[in-house]
Homo-oligomer: A and B are copies of this chain.
Amino acid sequence: MVKRTATGSARAPRRADSLSRGLIIQAAIEILDSGGEKALTLRALTVRLSTGYGAIYHHVADKSDLLATATDDVITGVLSGAVADADPRTALRRLALGLFDAIDAHPWVGAELSRQPWRPALLDFYESIGRLLDALDVPGKARFDAAGTLVNYVLGVAAQNAANARLRADSDTDRETFLENAATQWTQIDPGRYPFVHAAA
């Protein structure tokens, strides 16, 4: 016999597997990837997870919390996916390209990062860059400037790339050349920004 609420409507049975914050965020990421930023609605989440609002809000503060945590997840993935490299310069390149690729694959990450540039995951990113620049014997102050310049540059180019992708949703033939452009531009920037270090190397 189906139980009824006080208002007389039917009530679905409780889910078998228990919900968790991680599950919710993972579902949010999938929705964001498949449908873009505007596709992530609480309703869509309840449908995908076969649950209600209460369950979601029990594990998550609000929608912005959801977006922020999802973004952190992606960035952390980029960091952990970056293999250690003997040469700091190519390691930097790898890191920057990894960030670009991540935003290219999940455009909503770029938008969120430009909205909240001090997310913990992004600070970790700065930390890694700082260590690599340290290995390049870049002096302290310049190191900070360089990290900021690099990240801002990647975020900006990724945003432009996302805008391009929005304009023409197909013909990704020149996407590879675009990536190569970004790569070469960065390789130009690093030695150019620090001509002393570059000359020393």
Chain A residues with a Cβ under 8 A of chain B: 110-111, 114-118, 142, 145, 148-149, 151-153, 155-157, 159-160, 163, 167, 185, 188-189, 192-195
Contacts and interface: CB of A to CB of B under 8 A. Distances in A.
Nearest to A149: B153
A156 B151 contact: yes
Nearest to A160: B117
Query: How many copies of the polypeptide does the oligomer hold?
Result: 2
A115 to B, nearest CB: 7
A157 B152 contact: yes
A114 B167 CA distance: 15
A148 B160 CA distance: 10
Most buried by B among A152, A156, A163: A156
A179 to B, nearest CB: 15
Nearest to A114: B114
